Chain A
Amino acid sequence: MNIIVLLKQVPSTETMIQIAGDGRSVKTDDVSWIISPYDEFAVEEALRIKEKQKGGIVTIVSVGGAKAAEAIRTALAMGADKGILVNDPATAGCDGLGIARILSTVVQSLPFDLIIAGQRAVDDENFLVGAAVAEFLKIPFMSLVIQEEIADGKITCHRTIEGGTAVVSSPLPALFTTQRGLNEPRYTSLPGVMKAKKKPLDIKTLTDLGLDPAIAATPLMQVISLKFPEKRKAGKIIDGATLADKAAMLAKVLHEEAKVI
């Protein structure tokens, strides 16, 4: 089984994000980078499917700068077989649709039975790329998956929906996106890291993919400015002689002062 994982390198979720001088991008100098957590679930699930099916190739595909190779190497160290990084300065201006176009072009050049992607990247949080790649490839799409089974050329996915779960099936090839709870990603081992260094990682430009850099980098949506949300300040600490007094005082201020209960 050929499995493709779409992966994005993002600032770690602990990072204090700073706005750059242009007012519309973030500073990347002091950022520590990670595989977007939902994409990490995707890598793990691909490896588990490969192990269960007793064979197959897991290919990691990413669009990003030279640094993104580190994220791919981490996925290779977890056990993925090979990686493809589209590293082209023109992609810096891409919106999600542009990135999905590039990813689907890469995927089209590979054999695949299944594509797994994160439900969203935890930087731009737009929930778009997985769905768009499935759409461009005209394959079935299932989002927010917490459990899957593959049998007889079909995949059955348990999707989280508001207030419950929906069980959806489709023939392969298909694309699904991950939800927390799907698995617990493995740590990389030292032998894994050593092996990863020898695994193939192809770096491609848009021209290599037969895409016109000008077209690929014409976004339909642009960030025009960034700001910080209003900072919340520490409020009142409710005091009282006993815990019962504190609870009563809290109820009172919520009722009379904040007027929220």
Chain B
Amino acid sequence: MPQDILAIAEYGNGVFRKVSYEVLSEGRRLADTLGVKLLAVVLGNDIQQIAPKLAEYGVDRIIAAEHPLLKDYLSETYTQVAAEIIRKEAPALILTGATTQGKDLAACLSARLYAPLASECIAVRIENGKTVATRPMYGGKILADVRLDAAPGILTLRPNAFATRKTAGAGQIEVYPVSLEPPRTSCAHMQMDTSGKVELTEADVVVSGGRGMGGKDFSVIEALASVLGGAVGASRSAVDEGWRPVSDQVGQTGKVVSPNLYIACGISGAVQHFAGMQTSNVIVAVNKDPDAPIFSKADYGVVGDLFEIVPRLTEEIRRLRGDSQ
């Protein structure tokens, strides 16, 4: 009888992603609700050093699957090993972060195990013994409650949608003996952006620029994001103009972000952009057009030239920070 909850943690550059801790915290909450165990699974290479960190979030068991072929994520190898562990442990529910890797792996596992998948969940509850997840559809214009009618159910949890809670858990690492055939796919190399950049979907603060930026120079936006420890985003028009990479796009056909503070600069606020940031805690809009639709959705609006206002805002924040330190 499947019962436990299995959470798959993800790491990069030697640290776990923030969303992995959110996944473990929610997993702990659900495990307590159901009176079952929470298992954390981590796949990779050289992970025994960092794996104990997972115990801080109330994990009952930690399963570490280590293999040189698991160094970089490949759908093929990760699906094989994760599916083996899932078959062996027979959990009722599998949770992972709605990252590019998490969503990719969850989809492959869903098909491999013929298990229902709900991706990008923002809330989870147990109703009459079944998992019900709330997830956005139609670019966030609608929230759907979906019920998973078979075990194991698979959920990917949207970053920044669940709180982290530290609870003491067992620190014992169980090493899973991985045996892998050489995969058909291979990862030739990775090109990573300059290190230290905050991942857009996990950032607490996102500062985005739109058509009002007028060109490639996003330095005023970057400076504001930097002083706030946040990430830089862009509207679709700014990406279409070639001013910013696709990976910066916030919106229905880009990334969905849910930061504590979202600052939209020179963005008029098309419904598709709004779909990508409407669950932010506080929305600020800076736009020189007083009739821009963004003002109808923003908590705070400033009418004026962003190139005048944003640098002054950055300066003010620097000053506030300086005062409070």
Give A residues with C-beta under 8 Å from B.
Answer: 11, 13-17, 19, 26, 37-38, 95-97, 100, 122-128, 130-132, 134-136, 140-144, 146, 156, 159-171, 179-181, 219-229, 232-238, 243-244, 246-248, 250-255, 258, 260-261
Determine the distance from Cα of A224 to Cα of B125 in the docked complex, in whole angstroms: 13
Inter-chain contacts of A141 with B (CB < 8 A)? 75-76, 108
Of the candidates A15, A97, A247, which one forms a contact with B111 in the assembled complex, judged by CB atoms under 8 Å apart? A97
The 8 closest A-B pairs by CB, nearest first: A247-B312, A131-B107, A135-B111, A251-B316, A132-B111, A164-B192, A181-B246, A220-B116
Q: Is the Cβ of A126 less than 8 Å from the Cβ of B188?
A: no
Of the candidates A163, A220, A248, which one forms a contact with B312 in the assembled complex, judged by CB atoms under 8 Å apart? A248
Most buried by B among A122, A131, A141, A167: A131
What are 28 pairs between A and B in contact, CB < 8 Å?
A: A15-B138, A17-B142, A95-B116, A122-B252, A125-B119, A131-B110, A136-B111, A143-B75, A165-B190, A168-B188, A169-B186, A180-B253, A180-B254, A181-B245, A220-B115, A220-B150, A221-B116, A221-B153, A225-B144, A226-B143, A228-B143, A229-B143, A232-B299, A234-B295, A235-B299, A235-B301, A261-B205, A261-B320
If A163-B193, A164-B192 are given as contacts, then 6 extra A-B residue pairs at C-beta distance below 8 Å, sorted by A number, are A13-B253, A16-B141, A131-B107, A164-B191, A179-B246, A250-B284
Inter-chain contacts of A37 with B (CB < 8 A)? 253
Closest Cβ of chain B: how far from A163's Cβ, in Å? 5
A257 nearest CB neighbor, chain B only: B300
Of the candidates B76, B142, B156, B247, which one forms a contact with A19 in the assembled complex, judged by CB atoms under 8 Å apart? B142
Q: Is the Cβ of A221 less than 8 Å from the Cβ of B302?
A: no
B148 at the interface (CB under 8 A from A): yes
Closest Cβ of chain A: how far from B23's Cβ, in Å? 15
A139 nearest CB neighbor, chain B only: B184
Whether A227 touches B138, Cβ cut-off 8 Å, given contacts A144-B100, A163-B199, A254-B282, is no
Closest Cβ of chain B: how far from A1's Cβ, in Å? 19
Determine the distance from Cα of A260 to Cα of B144 in the docked complex, in whole angstroms: 29
Inter-chain contacts of A163 with B (CB < 8 A)? 12, 192-193, 197, 199
Closest Cβ of chain B: how far from A189's Cβ, in Å? 22
Q: Is the Cβ of A168 less than 8 Å from the Cβ of B145?
A: no
Q: Is the Cβ of B142 less than 8 Å from the Cβ of A228?
A: yes
What 1/0 flags go to B58-101 for Cβ under 8 Å of A? 00000000000000111110010000000000000000000111
Closest Cβ of chain B: how far from A138's Cβ, in Å? 10
Whether A97 touches B143, Cβ cut-off 8 Å, given contacts A126-B119, A235-B298, is no
B10 nearest CB neighbor, chain A only: A162
Q: Is the Cβ of B300 less than 8 Å from the Cβ of A97?
A: no
B42 at the interface (CB under 8 A from A): no
Within 8 A of A (CB), among B181-229: 184-193, 197, 199, 201, 205, 228
Whether A97 touches B110, Cβ cut-off 8 Å, given contacts A220-B148, A236-B300, is yes
A41 nearest CB neighbor, chain B only: B253
Whether A247 touches B184, Cβ cut-off 8 Å, given contacts A132-B107, A226-B142, is no
Most buried by B among A130, A161, A246: A161
Determine the distance from Cα of A145 to Cα of B19 in the docked complex, in whole angstroms: 23
B136 at the interface (CB under 8 A from A): yes
Closest Cβ of chain B: how far from A12's Cβ, in Å? 10
Determine the distance from Cα of A171 to Cα of B182 in the docked complex, in whole angstroms: 13
Closest Cβ of chain B: how far from A47's Cβ, in Å? 20
Whether A166 touches B110, Cβ cut-off 8 Å, given contacts A127-B103, A128-B119, A238-B301, is no
Q: Is the Cβ of B145 less than 8 Å from the Cβ of A162?
A: no
B35 at the interface (CB under 8 A from A): no
Q: Which of B48-56, B161-169, B271-279 contacts A (4 or more CB under 8 A)?
A: B271-279
Inter-chain contacts of B279 with A (CB < 8 A)? 229
Determine the distance from Cα of A132 to Cα of B111 in the docked complex, in whole angstroms: 5
Q: Is the Cβ of A258 less than 8 Å from the Cβ of B316?
A: no
Closest Cβ of chain B: how far from A119's Cβ, in Å? 9
Q: Is the Cβ of B107 less than 8 Å from the Cβ of A227?
A: no
Q: Is the Cβ of B253 less than 8 Å from the Cβ of A122?
A: yes
Determine the distance from Cα of A122 to Cα of B282 in the docked complex, in whole angstroms: 25
Inter-chain contacts of A221 with B (CB < 8 A)? 116-118, 146-149, 153
Q: Is the Cβ of A247 less than 8 Å from the Cβ of B110?
A: no
Closest Cβ of chain B: how far from A258's Cβ, in Å? 5
Q: Is the Cβ of B142 less than 8 Å from the Cβ of A26?
A: yes
What 1/0 flags go to B259-295 for Cβ under 8 Å of A? 0110000000001100000110111100000000001
Within 8 A of A (CB), among B285-325: 295-305, 308-310, 312-313, 315-317, 320
Closest Cβ of chain A: how far from B159's Cβ, in Å? 10
Q: Is the Cβ of B136 less than 8 Å from the Cβ of A125?
A: yes
Of the candidates A143, A226, A247, which one forms a contact with B316 in the assembled complex, judged by CB atoms under 8 Å apart? A247
Determine the distance from Cα of A260 to Cα of B313 in the docked complex, in whole angstroms: 14
